[in-house]
Structures are given as structure tokens and as C-alpha cells.
Amino acid sequence: MDAITTRMTQGRGRVFESILETVGDTPAIRINTLAPEGVEIYVKAEFFNPAGSVKDRLALSIIEEAERDGHLRPGQTVVEATSGNTGIGLAMVCAAKGYPLVVTMADSFSVERRKLMRMMGAKVVLTPRAEKGFGMYRKAVELAEANGWFLARQFETEANARIHENTTAREILADFRDRRLDYWVTGYGTGGTVTGVGRVMRRERPDTKIILSEPANAQLLGSGHAQSRNADHSPAESHPAFEPHPIQGWTPDFIPHVLQEAVDGGLYDELIPVSGPDGIAWAQKLAQREGILTGVSGGATFAVAMKIAERAEKGSVVLCMLPDTGERYMSTPLFEAIPEEMTDDEVALSKSTPGYQLG
């Protein structure tokens, strides 16, 4: 007799007017195999956003706030510098709302990201990797000024931290209402997540310790070296502590203005560096032992969460951000050791029965 599943679903009780209404409300998921005994670890899976990353929140916030205040005109071209996820989020939002989008991106970032943006109608202008994030940033500024385009300014805009204050933080508070939450762990790209969530947690869950992380070989905050800025808060130059690192989406070669509030306002309790190889290793472990597919940034954040969990007292609860999905890292070191062809074990399995073998 066939087994009958007991799992049932009932729908959301609503229909959605556009893809944009599905941004946010991402789940916090318990880690069952990898968590140390006596400590609960949860991950906030931002790849449940419709375009696959936490940056969907930011992209929607930037465009809708610009529409409301009149800075973005109907049909005006949007331009932004991005390592990929913000660009993908903006491509989704602009496609849904009818705005042309031009993205500038250093050619060191994964080709999947370029293709995803182009698939949704964006133009992607590549800049030399030697010029790092500062180069792609300046290219976006040049294009905006030369063409009268709307510059999204994800690294400076108040719309960035505000969306995390209004959504991400509220979701965390609701999910852990009447429950312990001892640690919240995140990395930073623009700094919007830690700043926005940090504002709320300091007010409403001051018992929760906020742990921030950055790449071990690009410790901009850990260096103690202040970022030089222009009058509009944009970076004046590349930060001297930056080195190229494999944690795409984290830590550009400058300290964003949005992040500066978290630094100056004490919105995190501890700064822990993590290596790129550790991020890759833990992303692979999450996939293979928990069935959770995240990118290198998610693996790096989880690596730090594991360090916290291993030293935490029994009964502690840790929540870790997973910014995006692993599927946009197929051409990166995250998948380097994953074979395309059958392994010896797989060939042996194929040969263990007589039919349907490759020649």
C-alpha cells in the first residue's frame, strides 16, 4: 500500500497583486544537525524573498521612497553600483514597475548575477576588478550625472536601514516573542541590515547581543581606520584595509555611510572576523547536512554563529542571517569542488544494474 503523506497546506488566505507584495516575512528555521548540544541555532532564510536575497527589501524601499518624494520620475532610468544582489533586487522591482535599469558591477563578481539582471531587462556595465567597489561606484555616479538618471545610492540612503527597521527587525521580534534570543549574528555589505535591526533591538530587546562579522583579510572596521567621505557622505577613496575576498556581497572597499551609524551608535556588541574558506565550508555543510542552500556570505555568517554557539551557555538561542541563495555562486569557489560529471562512486552505481548506462 502506498504511503499517504500527512502534510497539508491551506494557502496564504490571500492573493497578491504583484511580485513586490511578496517581499519580506522570511522564515526563521531551526538548525537540527549542526547545532552544538544544548544551544538552539536558527537561520533567517532571506532567499525566501522573491528574487532570492535580503536585498529585495532594500531595492523595493529605495524605489518606493523615491517615488513618494518625487526623486524618481515615471519612466526615468535607475542606475546603481552593486556586487549583484541589490542589482538583482532592483531588476525585479524595476521590471515590475516599468523603470529602465542600468547596473555597474566589477567584473570579478559571478556571471550568474549578470545573467539574472539581464534576464529581467537590466543593462549591466562592467568595471575593472582592479578598481574594486569604488570604481563601480564612481561609474554609476558618472552615468547618473551624464544622463540625468536616478542614482539609487544604496550605501547612503536612509531608505536602506529604514526598511530593515520596519520589516526585518519586526519579523524577528514577532518570531521570538516570549522566547529567548541571546544572540543575533549578521555580516555587512551596505550596513543596512545591522543598522536597521540594531535600532530596534537596542530599544525592544536590549538583552540580545548583536554580533557583526567581516572578512578576516578585509577588516575595515577592525582596522580602526576611519573612512574618508565627501560632503554627500559618499566614500572619497578606497579603504586602505581592504583586500579582495571571496565573500561576495560583504564588505566593499569602503565603509558605507549607512553602516557608520552602527559603528558610531554602538549598535553591535562584538565584531568577529571570518575567513572566506570558512564561509565556503560552512555553506557546504548547511547544504549537505541541513538541506539549506545559501551563498558564501550565508556560510560566513553561520560560521560566526557556530563560534558563538560553541562558547554560549546551555539554553542559549542564536539567530543568524542567511542573506541569499547558493544558486548564484555556481561559477565561484563555493561550487569548485562539486563535479559536473559522474564520480567513480556514481559510475559504479550505474554499472551495478545492466540498463541505461552512458557510453
CATH code, domain carrying 118: 3.40.50.1100
Q: Given this model, what pLDDT does residue 70 score?
A: 96
E strands in the chain = 28-30, 40-45, 78-81, 101-106, 123-127, 150-151, 183-186, 209-215, 270-274, 317-322
pLDDT at residue 86 greater than cutoff 80: yes
Q: Given this model, what pLDDT does residue 5 score?
A: 78
Q: Quick check: 134 and 235 in contact, CB under 8 A? A: yes
Q: Among residues 53, 234, 297, 316, which one is catalytic?
A: 297
Co-location of 95 and 186 in the same domain: no
Percentage of residues of the chain with pLDDT beyond 70: 99
DSSP label of 22: G
Co-location of 44 and 103 in the same domain: no
Q: Given this model, what pLDDT does residue 69 score?
A: 96
**Over the stretch 7-35, which tens digit does the pLDDT of each residue have?**
899 999 999 999 999 999 999 999 999 99
* Number of structural domains the chain divides into: 2
Residues 76 and 82: their CA atoms lie apart, in Å, by 19
Q: Given this model, what pLDDT does residue 110 score?
A: 83
Residue 247 lies in a domain: yes
Co-location of 78 and 197 in the same domain: no
Co-location of 190 and 311 in the same domain: yes
**Angle between helix 192-204 and helix 257-264 axes, rounded to 10 deg:** 30
Name the pLDDT band for 270 (thresholds 50, 70, 90): very high
**Helix boundaries (H) for 120-264:** 132-147, 158-163, 169-175, 192-204, 257-264
Co-location of 108 and 179 in the same domain: no
Cell of 136: 563601480
Co-location of 107 and 140 in the same domain: yes
> Considering 100, 117, 151, which residue would you say is the last residue of a domain?
151
Co-location of 331 and 243 in the same domain: yes
Q: Given this model, what pLDDT does residue 2 score?
A: 61
Domain that holds residue 281: 19-49+168-335
For the question of residue 238 being annotated catalytic, the response is no
pLDDT at residue 73 greater than cutoff 70: yes
For the question of residue 297 being annotated catalytic, the response is yes
Q: Among residues 44, 55, 132, 139, which one is catalytic?
A: 55
Q: Given this model, what pLDDT does residue 1 score?
A: 47
Residues 230 and 314: their CA atoms lie apart, in Å, by 47
* Cβ neighbours around 290 below 10 Å, total: 19
Co-location of 144 and 221 in the same domain: no
Co-location of 294 and 194 in the same domain: yes
The amino acid occupying position 177 is R
Co-location of 61 and 120 in the same domain: yes
